[in-house]
């Protein structure tokens, strides 16, 4: 059993890397990947806790926007020390801070009086994400839950939404390849817009996250067929963010087809890093 999509407290998850590793080992998982948004600190910390029965491969979820719309690109088994990747991560951390300031300013104009510094205090070890701002809106009494705040105010198309710095899906695929990794389209079944898969393939996309906690069986089957038609790799994962989060699906709760799990075990787990 494997899980290739897990978030830690270094982005918008609530569990520490140690908790993720311990839970994965307790459940008997063979391979995991911590795919925090735009950072690697969770993966790097988790490596120290893994024992021989559990392998962890380098992973990241790059948030992108551009001509193809807002898409998330998962990267796997890249060199985590690659200079261009480290440069991008440093840029994105600062970009997210400036982006968060713009959101907070917009929210105050809209009548939601929250402090950006309070949002930043919620970040802890990780990078600023909209969940931190949503949590502050809840703490200020404007919403009953972070999910409600996100859905009604912060997601794309809502009054509090603000674009991040320019970084497209094509940029993400190129960056992952430059770092020696494989690029996958994350959770293709949950986007509001149609996914221009052919353009992503032209840009070098390696695979699709077919198995995901929010994919219906029909979506899963459709994307599996599409991946095979285009000779793309297949991945899957829970997208676990924490038991009380917007994505509470437990680690290991999304099962991939046996042949796909075997492919990862035999081909990818033995490759470095």
**Residue carrying structure tokens 């959770």:** 187
Indicate if the pLDDT at residue 165 is higher than 90: no
In angstroms, the CA 109 to CA 241 distance is 30
Q: Which two tokens stand for residue 233?
A: 């790799």
CA 262 to chain CA centroid, Å, is: 23
Phi, psi of 127 (to 5 degrees): -110, 155
In angstroms, the CA 233 to CA 263 distance is 9
Q: Whole-prediction pTM value?
A: 0.88
Measuring CA to CA, which residue among 61, 31, 56, 35 is closest to residue 46? 56
Q: For 127-131, what is the mean pLDDT?
A: 88
Indicate where the chain has its CATH 3.20.20.140 domain(s).
Answer: 2-81+166-268
Q: For 152-161, what is the mean pLDDT?
A: 93
Indicate if the pLDDT at residue 273 is higher than 70: no
pLDDT of residue 268: 53
Q: For 34-62, what is the mean pLDDT?
A: 93
In angstroms, the CA 71 to CA 44 distance is 25
Indicate if the pLDDT at residue 163 is higher than 50: yes
**How does the average pLDDT of the chain come out, rounded?**
92
The CATH number that domain 88-154 falls under is 1.10.150.650
Helix 83-109 to helix 169-178 angle, to the nearest 10 degrees?
Answer: 150
Indicate where the chain has its CATH 1.10.150.650 domain(s).
Answer: 88-154
The answer regarding whether domain 2-81+166-268 maps to CATH 3.30.465.10 reads no
Phi, psi of 77 (to 5 degrees): 45, 45
Indicate if the pLDDT at residue 141 is higher than 60: yes
The sign of the torsion formed by the CA atoms of 95, 207, 221, 254 equals negative
Q: For 45-61, what is the mean pLDDT?
A: 91
In eight-state DSSP terms, residue 153 is: I
In angstroms, the CA 268 to CA 4 distance is 12
Q: For 217-221, what is the mean pLDDT?
A: 95
Q: For 156-184, what is the mean pLDDT?
A: 94
Share of the chain above pLDDT 70, in %: 97
């Amino acid at each position: 059993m494997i899980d290739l999509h897990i978030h830690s407290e270094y982005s918008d998850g609530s569990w520490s890397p140690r908790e993720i590793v311990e839970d994965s080992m307790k459940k008997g998982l063979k391979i995991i990947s911590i795919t925090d948004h735009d950072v690697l600190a969770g993966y790097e910390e988790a490596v120290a806790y893994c024992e021989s029965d559990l392998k962890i491969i380098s992973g990241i979820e790059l948030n992108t926007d551009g001509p193809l719309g807002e898409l998330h690109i998962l990267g796997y088994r890249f060199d985590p020390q690659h200079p261009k990747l480290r440069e991008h991560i440093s840029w994105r951390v600062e970009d997210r801070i400036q982006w968060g300031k713009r959101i907070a300013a917009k929210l105050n104009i809209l009548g939601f009086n929250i402090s950006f510094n309070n949002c930043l205090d919620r970040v802890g070890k990780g990078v600023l994400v909209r969940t931190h701002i949503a949590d502050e809106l809840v703490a200020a009494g404007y919403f009953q839950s972070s999910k409600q705040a996100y859905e009604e105010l912060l997601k794309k198309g809502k009054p509090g939404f603000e674009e991040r710095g320019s970084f497209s899906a094509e940029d993400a695929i190129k960056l992952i390849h430059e770092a020696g990794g494989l690029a996958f389209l994350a959770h293709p079944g949950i986007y509001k817009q149609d996914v221009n898969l052919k353009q992503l393939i032209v840009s070098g996309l390696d695979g699709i996250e077919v198995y995901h906690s929010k994919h219906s069986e029909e979506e899963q089957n459709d994307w599996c067929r599409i991946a095979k038609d285009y000779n793309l790799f297949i991945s899957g994962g829970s997208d676990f963010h924490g038991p009380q989060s917007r994505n509470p699906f437990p680690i290991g709760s999304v099962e991939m087809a046996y042949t796909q799990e075997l492919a990862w075990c035999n081909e990818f787990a033995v490759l470095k890093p």
